[in-house]
Structure formats: C-alpha cells, structure tokens
C-alpha cells in the first residue's frame, strides 16, 4: 500500500499510526495539495490528502473511510474501533469531537498563515479557536474520567495525533496546559516507536 500525504497533516498521520499499530506495511509519498496539487488530483479528484493506494491499485481517500477499510481488513478482534454497539457509538462520538477540533484548528491556522497580515479576519480566527478550546475541554474531561490502558484504540491514536498537531500548529494561540489529561495521554505515547516513526519532523528534515 502507498499512503499519500505529509505527517504534519493529522489526518494523514492518524492513518499512518493506525497502519503501524495493525502491522500493515506501507510506503509513503509526502505530497501536499498546496505544493503537489496535480499529483494529488491523480489519486483524489478533490485534490486532498490523505489517500491510500491499495495493493490492487484501488484508491481510498478521507481518513475515516480509509480507517474503516483497515478495520474491515483487520477483522473484529483487531479492529481499532469496536465492532459492536454501544461501544462503537461511544467511540465514534469521541472521534467526532477529535476530528472537529482538527478541522477548526486547521481553519484557524489557514486564516493566519495563508492570508496577508492585513487581510486576516481576526473574529473568524477567534471563533474557530473558541471551538477548538471547547472541544479540547470535552475531550480532556472524557480522558480524565476514563483513563486509557495500554491498548491503542482509534480514539487514543487520533487524540494523541491531534494533540501533537495543536502543539505544532497553534502553540502560540492555545493554552495546552489547561488540558492535563490530554497532555498526559500524549506524553504516554508520543515517544513510542509507532508514533515517533510518523512525527511531522520527519518531513521537515527531508526538505
């Protein structure tokens, strides 16, 4: 399999970490929609990452769809999302908040870095950061009340990836120490080989 995307993208990275957890080997092409749009469009007509080229040439895109396929291949005993309700529904709710935080964080960052300084609409930045903070508070409360063990379900994978992304992309705009349970979860896993192998610094060092 070939994974398209850079590890700075939390969507790409959560797929990569999941592949590592499931022991599914893959190659990677660190393309971005901004710098390699035509190449990305060859695998995703919308020109977005991540995309996963399967061994038979079929292409999947959008991280949740890719991860659903990986769980189907892994089977119910190894799947990273619970296969049965109500556990599946509970984990999907956590992931919805986690992905919402990623989306709003990306929206705020794009507004700040893609526009000239005099064109930045600060109320829009503040609105998105407010949504990020409320999502983080909800996730922090969840992991405070339900500390995770030594397994790595998709909820933990995506939350650690989200936390790392925020510390890189919005470190000067968020008070991450307000979310101690998320910080503890990230510290527990970030140095594990399956996460270190996908750290965003890898792409920076290769430039």
Long-range contacts of 146-151 (CB under 8 A, 24+ apart): 147/181, 148/185
Q: Are residues 58 and 147 in the same domain?
A: no
Confidence of residue 171 (pLDDT cuts 50, 70, 90): confident
Check residues 26 and 145 and name the one with the higher pLDDT: 26
Whole-number pLDDT of residue 148: 65
Whether residue 164 is found in the same domain as residue 182: yes
- Enclosing domain of residue 75: 2-80+199-206
Same domain for 114 and 27: no
Q: Are residues 72 and 17 in the same domain?
A: yes
Domain of residue 21, CATH code: 3.40.30.10
Residues 6+ apart with CB under 8 A from 140: 178, 179, 180, 181, 182
Q: In this predicted structure, what is the pLDDT of residue 207? A: 42
Q: What percent of the chain has pLDDT over 70?
A: 96
Q: Please indicate, yes or no, whether residues 96 and 152 belong to a single structural domain of this protein.
A: yes
Span of 13-22, 140-149, 192-201 with lowest mean pLDDT: 140-149
**CATH at 179:** 1.20.1050.10
Residues 110, 20 share a domain: no
Summarised one tens digit per residue, pLDDT across range 88-126 is 999 999 999 999 999 999 999 999 998 999 999 999 999
The stretch 26-51 carries a mean pLDDT of 93
* Mean local confidence (pLDDT), 34-62: 94
Q: Give the alpha-carbon dihedral of 161, 176, 33, 27, to 10 degrees.
A: -20
Task: Give pLDDT tens digits for 13-38.
Answer: 999 999 999 999 999 999 988 899 99
Contact 106, 99 (CB under 8 A): no
For the chain, what is the domain count? 2
Q: What is the CB neighbour count within 10 angstroms for residue 35?
A: 10
**pTM of the complete model:** 0.93
Residues 48 and 97 in one domain: no
139 and 47 part of one domain: no
- Please tell me whether residues 135 and 98 are part of one structural domain: yes
97 plus 184 within the same structural domain: yes
Q: What percentage of the chain has pLDDT greater than the value 90?
A: 86
Please check whether residues 61 and 124 belong to one and the same domain. Answer: no
Residue ranges in 48-121 assigned as alpha helix (H):
63-74, 87-114
Give the pLDDT score at 151. Answer: 83
pLDDT value of position 149: 66
For tokens 């896993």, name the residue: 189
User: Is residue 34 located within the same domain as residue 112?
Assistant: no
The band of 53, judged by pLDDT with boundaries at 50, 70 and 90, is very high
């Amino acid at each position: 399999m070939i994974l398209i995307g850079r590890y700075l993208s939390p969507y790409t990275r959560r797929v990569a970490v999941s592949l590592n957890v499931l022991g599914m080997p893959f190659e990677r092409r660190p393309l971005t929609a901004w710098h390699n749009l035509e190449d990305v469009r060859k695998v995703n007509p919308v020109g977005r990452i991540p995309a996963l080229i399967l061994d038979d040439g079929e292409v999947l895109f959008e991280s949740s769809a890719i991860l659903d396929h990986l769980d189907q291949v892994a089977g119910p005993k190894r799947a990273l999302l619970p296969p049965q309700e109500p556990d599946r529904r509970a984990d999907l709710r956590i992931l919805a908040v986690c992905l919402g935080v990623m989306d709003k964080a990306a929206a705020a960052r794009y507004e700040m870095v893609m526009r000239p300084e005099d064109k930045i609409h600060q109320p829009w930045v503040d609105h998105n950061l407010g949504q990020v903070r409320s999502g983080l508070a909800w996730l922090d409360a969840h992991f405070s009340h339900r500390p995770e063990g030594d397994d790595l379900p998709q909820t933990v994978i995506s939350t650690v990836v989200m936390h790392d992304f925020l510390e890189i992309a919005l470190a000067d705009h968020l008070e991450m120490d307000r979310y101690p349970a998320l910080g503890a979860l990230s510290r527990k896993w970030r140095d594990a080989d399956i996460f270190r192998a996908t750290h965003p610094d890898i792409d920076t060092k290769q430039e």
